[in-house]
């Protein structure tokens, strides 16, 4: 069943802005199509899994609006609709701001001490230093205690592992994040595996990966509610979790839909494919050896691009009305920019936007969600650790 609507053309992995827009203080955004932006040569067919309802309020003198609502199956403490002038963009920046607002309220109700996040930074990479500053600022906004540990490039692997083991035993710390990449002389796998899985808020420990890859379909296994990611009793990688959260909060139905994940990395491709499968989507992973990748992607209702190649996904790859989530972050030369470059995703945004039902921009799409999910993992960890300690004390 298809609903037809003509719409016009129109992360940095990290936290691009932590200011909370006043218009999103008590609601989270979803897509609104401005009727006066419609262009006849760029009609897009929106499939029925993108919920569309015509706003009941009268249009302003300058434009009329069509609001896209959240699925009624979602249970939120905040209003389920809002109006934004982002046409078919999925506004990750505003959704992340709403999640931080929700987390701030949650943290305010928790007993002291507050949830704590420890971040280990090894080396002097400017991008890593920037990410760490962003995470610290985000923690302050939400009310999470942050503990920073910085080491020079000359630090030894053993020194870092020992610090991780120390933090595993620190009751103030509920989440441990080792900022990647590590210097070349360190074994990244060994360092990450030293983190206690219960404090692995990056979701990269093999134990957490194994749990994510367990479908739990056989008799006798407790069934998890994958429609409520915050209820999952282990840590899910932040960027993949953020992708699904964007889709959920934009009202995109995943059950029974065809999904294509472009890229098979351990950080994004594989975990986001598992999350889509847990939501009963039929998932195809597209990679460098896939035959006729364009056609495979063209069959998908939902496309997640996480391959690390600038603007690789073109307009003719996308089925009209498909939802496109662009995880990529790439710099391309741009003499008109003060920096001499600009940031783009793995999707040819300007062209694909003309046919996509919804699309995440770069920047401002998936990027802001990564830190929002890191914060949520840390808060969830503090709650679970406190509950486990309470159970232990009772015994």
Write down the pLDDT at residue 47. 60
- Looking at 3.40.50.150, 1.10.15.40, 3.40.50.620, 3.40.50.720, the CATH number of the domain 2-93+221-370 comes to 3.40.50.720
17: left (phi over 0), alpha (psi -120 to 50) or beta: beta
Q: Are strands 323-326 and 258-262 parallel, antiparallel or unpaired?
A: unpaired
Write down the pLDDT at residue 218. 72
Catalytic residue (one of 93, 98, 199, 202): 202
CA–CA separation, 115 and 369 (whole Å): 19
CA–CA separation, 307 and 324 (whole Å): 14
Cα pseudo-dihedral 257, 263, 268, 269, rounded to 10: 50
CATH number for the domain formed by residue range(s) 106-200+373-394:
3.40.50.10860
Domain boundaries, the chain: 2-93+221-370, 106-200+373-394
Largest CA distance in the chain: 69
Write down the pLDDT at residue 30. 31
Catalytic residue (one of 179, 200, 346, 353): 179
Write down the pLDDT at residue 11. 36
Write down the pLDDT at residue 67. 34
Identical fold for domains 2-93+221-370 and 106-200+373-394, yes or no, is yes
Strands, E assignment, 18-101: 32-34, 44-47, 53-54, 65-67
Write down the pLDDT at residue 159. 98
- pTM exceeds cut of 0.75: yes
CA–CA separation, 222 and 356 (whole Å): 37
Clarify whether 135 is annotated catalytic.
yes
Catalytic residue (one of 135, 163, 257, 319): 135
Residues 141, 196: contact at Cβ < 8 Å? Answer: no
Consecutive 10-residue runs of the chain (395 residues): their mean pLDDT? 34 38 35 32 50 42 35 35 59 97 96 94 93 95 97 97 98 97 96 97 96 81 88 96 97 97 96 97 97 97 97 97 96 91 95 97 96 97 90 63
| 3-state class percentages of the chain: helix first, strand second, coil last, to nearest 5 | 35, 15, 50
Clarify whether 179 is annotated catalytic.
yes
């Amino acid at each position: 069943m298809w609903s037809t609507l003509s719409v016009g053309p129109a992360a940095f992995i990290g936290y691009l802005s932590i200011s909370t827009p006043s218009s999103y203080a008590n609601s989270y955004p979803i897509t609104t199509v401005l009727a006066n932006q419609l262009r006849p040569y760029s009609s897009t067919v929106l499939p029925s899994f993108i919920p569309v309802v015509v706003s009941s309020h009268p249009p302003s003198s300058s434009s009329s609006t069509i609001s896209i609502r959240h699925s009624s199956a979602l249970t939120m403490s905040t209003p389920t609709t809002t109006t934004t002038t982002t046409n078919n963009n999925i506004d990750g920046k505003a959704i992340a701001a709403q999640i931080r607002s929700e987390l701030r309220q949650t943290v305010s109700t928790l007993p002291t001490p507050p949830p704590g996040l420890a971040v280990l930074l090894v080396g002097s990479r400017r991008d890593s230093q920037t990410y760490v500053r962003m995470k610290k600022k985000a923690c302050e906004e939400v009310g999470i205690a942050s503990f920073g540990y910085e080491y020079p490039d000359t630090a030894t692997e053993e020194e870092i592992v020992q610090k991780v083991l120390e933090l595993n035993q620190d009751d103030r710390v509920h989440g441990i994040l080792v900022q990647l990449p590590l210097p070349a002389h360190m074994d990244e796998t060994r360092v990450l595996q030293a983190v206690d899985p219960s404090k692995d808020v990056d979701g990269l420990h093999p134990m957490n990966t194994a749990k994510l890859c367990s479908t739990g379909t056989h008799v006798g296994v407790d069934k998890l509610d994958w429609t409520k990611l915050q209820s999952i009793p282990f840590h899910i990688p932040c960027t993949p979790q953020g992708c699904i959260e964007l889709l959920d909060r934009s009202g995109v139905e995943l059950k029974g839909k065809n999904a294509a994940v472009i890229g098979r990395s351990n950080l994004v491709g594989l975990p986001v494919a598992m999350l889509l499968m847990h939501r009963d989507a039929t998932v195809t992973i597209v990679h460098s050896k896939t035959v006729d990748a364009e056609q495979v992607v063209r069959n998908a209702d939902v496309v997640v691009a996480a391959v690390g190649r600038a603007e690789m996904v073109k307009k003719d790859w996308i089925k009209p009305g498909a939802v496109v989530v662009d995880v990529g972050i790439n710099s391309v030369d741009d003499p008109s920019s003060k920096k001499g470059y600009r940031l783009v995703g793995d999707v040819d945004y300007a062209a694909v936007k003309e046919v996509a039902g919804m699309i995440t921009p770069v920047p401002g799409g998936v990027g802001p969600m990564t830190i929002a999910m890191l914060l949520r993992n840390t808060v969830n960890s503090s709650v679970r650790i406190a509950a486990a300690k309470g159970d232990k004390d009772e015994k």
